[in-house]
Amino acid sequence: MAPTDGLERAATLTELLETDGVVEQCVIRSGSRGRLGVMAYHGGSLEEMTDVIGERAAERSGASYYAIVQPSTSRRHLASTKVRPAESPALTRFVDAVDVVVTVHGFGRRGMFSSLLLGGGNREFAEHVGTALRRTLPAYDIVTDLERIPVALRGIHPDNPVNLPPARGVQMELPPRVRGSSPMWWDWEGPGLTPHTEGLIDGLVDALTSWA
């Protein structure tokens, strides 16, 4: 049966990477901040703006970066637990290069359009990121309590890429509003990204650069 949510399912990472127009990006940075990583493997047309947010935050903070970016002609979803380093030399290099990671995702659920969900296996880092984001995004509900995060969005499965580096990391789930892809921004003409998106990146950069 065809999916009813406008998505096409990909069975494996290999299959996804072989899709026309899909681009895999990997930047390994040196130095202590390079041991921090940012990922956006549902980027491009799938979870809009996640790759832009991840790339800018990684570049500004000196963190390493990995992304999979889909073109406008493709919206193929691959479960996080199937994003496996064994199927990608670039992903293997990235995971081997970092100690802790932030994975950037997009979601949309009724009643949670102003909520940012911080899951993942490194709860201390999640609280640290949450503290930084509360300063730059005071109008949003920054959720670090796993009990308040829907089970499917918690990012605590051991095979989830957020938990593959030695110190694991934070799975950041972003609603459309903070990504600048909500109808509330229909008349935004810039310059730059929407104020909420800029605030998100500022907070993430602060969290990455201040993490010991």
User: Containing H/E element for 44?
Assistant: strand 36-44
**In 2-76, alpha helices (H):** 13-17, 50-61
Query: Which residue is associated with the tokens 């963190």?
Result: 63
**What homologous superfamily is domain 8-210 in, according to CATH?**
Poly-gamma-glutamate hydrolase, zinc-binding motif (3.40.630.100)
Q: 22-67, pLDDT tens digit by residue?
A: 999 999 999 877 799 999 999 999 999 999 999 999 999 999 999 9
* Dihedral pair phi/psi, residue 66, rounded to 5°: -140, 135
* HEC per residue, 113-132: CCEEEEECCCHHHHHHHHHH
DSSP code at position 84: -
User: Containing H/E element for 25?
Assistant: strand 23-27
Q: 136-172, pLDDT tens digit by residue?
A: 999 999 999 999 999 999 999 999 999 999 999 999 9
Give the per-residue pLDDT at 7: 80
Give the per-residue pLDDT at 5: 55
Q: 87-133, pLDDT tens digit by residue?
A: 999 999 999 999 999 999 999 998 899 999 999 999 999 999 999 99
